[in-house]
Amino acid sequence: MSVTTTEAAPNRHEPKPKGGNVKGGLLDPKMLLKSTPDALRKLDPRTLWRNPVMFIVEIGAVWSTVLAVREPTWFSWLIVFWLWATVVFANLAEAVAEGRGKAQAESLRRAKSDAMARRLSGWTPGGTGTEEEVAAPLLQQGDIVVVEAGQSIPGDGDVIEGIASVDESAITGESAPVIRESGGDRSAVTGGTTVLSDRIVVKITQKPGESFIDRMIALVEGANRQKTPNEIALNILLAALTIIFVFAVATLQPLAIFSKANNPGVPDSQALDGNGVTGIVMVALLVCLIPTTIGALLSAIGIAGMDRLVQRNVLAMSGRAVEAAGDVNTLLLDKTGTITLGNRQAGAFLQLPGVTPEQFADAAQLSSLADETPEGRSIVVFAKERFGLRARTPGELNNANWIEFTATTRMSGVDLEDGHQLRKGAAASVADWVRSSGGTVPPELGGIVDEVSASGGTPLVVGEVRDGLARALGVIHLKDVVKEGMRERFDEMRRMGIRTVMITGDNPLTARAIADEAGVDDFLAEATPEDKLALIKSEQEGGKLVAMTGDGTNDAPALAQADVGVAMNTGTSAAKEAGNMVDLDSDPTKLIEIVEIGKQLLITRGALTTFSIANDIAKYFAIIPAMFVALFPGLDLLNVMRLHSPTSAILSAVIFNAIIIIALIPLSLRGVKYTPSSASKLLSRNLSVYGIGGIIAPFIGIKLIDLVVQLLPGMS
């Protein structure tokens, strides 16, 4: 199992906007002004037809303009103006969302320059090859390039030789350099980043024009944004409602002819007789009946959701992944670096009977001197601080043979020149080594090992061969520290209806102890890549959506299978290609934030859809009585807002219909605040806040607009 390592980054969970420090949700007048030309360009029917609701509104605005030219009145021209304003405001919502992305893309473009690359031909490992200078955009997949200190990496790829410190601030926004080296799970580099020290050889893995920066620019600008399944389904519903209301309004024409024939005393200005004024009134009725509010904001909501991910340095390959994150039922999380701090520390030395604490501490320190892992260094420090042992280095020991750790032996150690041998490693491996060296393992050792494992620690056994006698000395207790606040976060996941599963290579006893301390719902111990894949398939067969993180090549199959696969930017190219999201900060806990962003996207869309449908109720009370009161005086009872006149009522409803779009742009960009709770509570809150609020707000808004509109000429 690969272990994800999180690189230090201050305030990692805070959004870090790029390109102008754009604040989510704030309606900046400068941004509105800057986005207006784009909104006007979107009036092109070839662009607008993708939004059926607003396309119908534009057709109605064109027809009303023609009718107003034929029969010009103050009323008709005011209706025409606000119909066009409705279309422009809808386009403006999308343009503002895209404009925020374009501001972010500017800084990314500065990182993507037409740099030159030092391409190597005939390169072999350890060799040099023939070097030639080519333009970075001309690099092909599989090309080998060399990059030295001070130079920019010309394209996405994997380090195949060397190690270097790399500045990735242009991509991640973090000023702290990171280490990239050949082999392992920290070999991937991103085009546009800068090598600060040393020299590396990179194999290009991207195709021309498909680098991470290219994809980020396209993502934040909305150029390649595809509608998600839920968004498509909602668009179909809105289109169906629009078509129904088109037919409903069209049937008013026969009613107009019939009403005029049976009510000859009704003035033409008040009868539905098909003249210019009534035609415009029917368009106004249609625009107020169809769900223009959510139709106008739907695209902006989707773009803003992607924008929130980018602000948190997450690159989503598609909107489908963002939406799936909001529907996730099962969350698979690596233990190391995600649930725990990742660096296990020596917490206790537990010697066997017959071994003094000083003897064991000396043996533990000696066997760890050449161990450069955080665990090995912590053992050396613990022995020094707790037992007063002086600091020693491997170079002080003459003719010592240092035994490196391997996955096969699962232990490391040292052979000293006097024949003294020390080994430190997994309990079973050291026990087998002691037996093979002619010694015996006391039964007490197994009890200590089980006790350490049951407490959530990792046991490392130390053994020795001295003067021909092999024996086990005791156990080093390595403590895996659970990150602060993880239990609270998992409680939140549980309230959201999400099941959390911890993935670890530890034995079941250790895994259970950490799982209980962290508060996860389940765990998978001694996990292999095949185990992860089988677990994901099992969950999906039960109808659940699964999200997971990974960084290694061995994680690629599981990342590809998961509904939401978040690859670490520090990971291999295979992992990043398999996942549908890439975390540029390489922070495994980011998966929890991604799920919350996905849920916020779904809730925002649902809230504004509820509000849009609810506020149509007030429009019915405004327009229907205004249209029919002359024919059916009893309908005046429906004029609960006591609007001034039929013309002012109709105009007020149309104006409110346009203004509410502008008023809701900040909410669509910022998103509805998400509070972890059950689906039933979220539905109740949506209905109470945005359902009831969507009914009340238009009554107040239309009445206030009517008080102003009635002062205009022609509104008597």
Cβ of 260: how many Cβ atoms within 10 Å?
16
pLDDT at 493 over 60: yes
What is the model's pLDDT at position 108?
A: 58
Sheet of 345-351, strands arranged across: 345-351, 469-479, 458-466, 421-425, 411-415, 401-403
Q: Are residues 613 and 558 in the same domain?
A: no
What is the model's pLDDT at position 18?
A: 40
Q: How many CA atoms lie within 13 A of 457 on its CB side?
A: 22
Specify the range with the lowest mean pLDDT, choosing from 128-132, 171-175, 269-273, 629-633.
Answer: 269-273
Query: Does residue 485 or residue 272 have the better pLDDT?
Result: 485
The pLDDT tens digits for 430-467 are: 999 999 999 989 989 999 998 888 776 789 999 999 98
Q: Are residues 453 and 356 in the same domain?
A: yes
Residue 113 in marked binding region: no
Structural domain for 276, as ranges? 29-99+225-307+597-710
The pLDDT tens digits for 335-389 are: 776 787 766 788 889 999 989 999 999 999 888 887 777 788 888 888 888 888 7
Residue 205 in marked binding region: no
The pLDDT tens digits for 396-428 are: 677 788 888 776 778 889 998 888 899 999 899
Residue 570 in marked binding region: no
Q: Are residues 150 and 276 in the same domain?
A: no
Is residue 349, in this structure, part of any structural domain at all? yes
Q: What is the C-alpha separation between 61 and 79, in angstroms, rounded?
A: 9
Q: Examine the fold and report which residue of 481, 516, 550 is the final residue of a domain before the chain moves on.
A: 481
Q: Are residues 320 and 466 in the same domain?
A: no
Q: What is the C-alpha separation between 89 and 104, in angstroms, rounded?
A: 23
Instruction: Sort residue 633 into left (φ over 0), alpha (ψ -120 to 50) or beta.
Output: alpha
Cα 699 to chain centroid distance, Å, stands at 38
Sign of the Cα pseudo-torsion (64, 65, 68, 74, in order): positive
- CATH code of the domain containing 448: 3.40.1110.10
% of the chain beyond a pLDDT of 90 = 11
pLDDT at 266 over 70: no
Q: Are 525 and 515 in contact (CB under 8 A)?
A: no
Average pLDDT, the chain: 79
The pLDDT tens digits for 303-319 are: 787 778 877 878 777 66
What are the start-end ranges of the E strands in 157-293? 157-167, 178-181, 188-189, 194-197, 199-204
Q: Are 272 and 623 in contact (CB under 8 A)?
A: no
307: nearest Cα among 82, 674, 10, 17: 17
Q: Are residues 494 and 364 in the same domain?
A: no
What lies within 8 Å, CB to CB, of 354 at 6+ separation is none
Q: Are residues 417 and 501 in the same domain?
A: no
pLDDT at 12 over 60: no
Specify the range with the lowest mean pLDDT, choosing from 266-270, 411-415, 505-509, 580-584.
Answer: 266-270
Q: Are 325 and 228 in contact (CB under 8 A)?
A: no
pLDDT at 391 over 70: no
What is the model's pLDDT at position 436?
A: 92
Cβ of 139: how many Cβ atoms within 10 Å?
24
Residue 405 in marked binding region: yes
Is residue 243, in this structure, part of any structural domain at all? yes
Is residue 602, in this structure, part of any structural domain at all? yes
Average pLDDT over residues 645-649: 80
What is the model's pLDDT at position 62?
A: 93
Q: Are residues 174 and 43 in the same domain?
A: no
Q: What is the C-alpha separation between 460 and 423, in angstroms, rounded?
A: 10
What is the model's pLDDT at position 177?
A: 76
Q: Examine the fold and report which residue of 447, 481, 515 is the final residue of a domain before the chain moves on.
A: 481
Tokens 């959506």 map to which residue?
545
Residue 486 in marked binding region: no
pLDDT at 152 over 60: yes
Active site residue: 143, 307, 334, 506, which one?
A: 334
- CATH code of the domain containing 327: 3.40.50.1000
What lies within 8 Å, CB to CB, of 687 at 6+ separation is 610
What is the model's pLDDT at position 257?
A: 60
Secondary structure (DSSP) of 566-628: EEETTS-HHHHHHSSEEETT--TTHHHHHHHHHHHHHHHHHHHHHHHHHTHHHHHHHHHHHHH
* Residue 58: band (very low, low, confident or very high) from pLDDT cuts 50, 70, 90: very high
Q: How many CA atoms lie within 13 A of 584 on its CB side?
A: 25
pLDDT at 230 over 80: no
What is the model's pLDDT at position 432?
A: 93
Q: What is the C-alpha separation between 29 and 99, in angstroms, rounded?
A: 13
Strand pairing category for 157-167 and 188-189: antiparallel
Residue 406 in marked binding region: yes
What is the model's pLDDT at position 210?
A: 65
Residue 407 in marked binding region: yes
H-only helix segments in 403-457: 427-436, 444-454
- CATH code of the domain containing 161: 2.70.150.10
At 511, which amino acid appears? A
What is the model's pLDDT at position 471?
A: 93
Cβ of 382: how many Cβ atoms within 10 Å?
23
Q: Are residues 201 and 241 in the same domain?
A: no
Buried b or exposed e, range 669-706, using 16+ CB within 10 angstroms: bbbbebebeeeeebeebbeeebbebbbebbbebbbebb
What is the model's pLDDT at position 211?
A: 65
Residue 411 in marked binding region: yes
How many domains does the chain fold into? 4
Q: Examine the fold and report which residue of 481, 498, 518 is the final residue of a domain before the chain moves on.
A: 481
299: nearest Cα among 214, 219, 243, 228: 228
Residue 424 in marked binding region: yes
Cβ of 399: how many Cβ atoms within 10 Å?
8
Q: Are residues 94 and 235 in the same domain?
A: yes
pLDDT at 265 over 60: no
The pLDDT tens digits for 544-563 are: 889 888 777 778 888 888 88
What is the model's pLDDT at position 597?
A: 87
Residue 526 in marked binding region: no
Is residue 21, in this structure, part of any structural domain at all? no
Q: What is the C-alpha separation between 39 and 55, in angstroms, rounded?
A: 14
Q: Are residues 352 and 473 in the same domain?
A: yes
Q: Give the 3-state secondary structure of residue 316.
A: strand
The widest CA-to-CA distance across the chain, in whole angstroms, is: 124
Is residue 619, in this structure, part of any structural domain at all? yes
Query: Does residue 20 or residue 709 have the better pLDDT?
Result: 709
What is the model's pLDDT at position 339?
A: 80
Strand pairing category for 144-148 and 116-121: antiparallel
Residue 425, beta-bridge partner list: 411, 461
What is the model's pLDDT at position 51?
A: 85
pLDDT at 82 over 90: yes
Is residue 441, in this structure, part of any structural domain at all? yes
Is residue 334, in this structure, part of any structural domain at all? yes
Q: Are residues 383 and 467 in the same domain?
A: yes
User: Does 334 participate in catalysis according to the annotation?
Assistant: yes
Average pLDDT over residues 615-633: 72
Joined together, the tokens standing for residue 487 give 């239990």
Q: Are residues 230 and 81 in the same domain?
A: yes
At 354, which amino acid appears? G
Helical axes 229-250 vs 292-311, angle rounded to 10°: 170
Is residue 211, in this structure, part of any structural domain at all? no
Specify the range with the lowest mean pLDDT, choosing from 20-34, 238-252, 540-554, 565-579.
Answer: 20-34
pLDDT at 252 over 90: no
Joined together, the tokens standing for residue 315 give 């690159």
pLDDT at 20 over 70: no
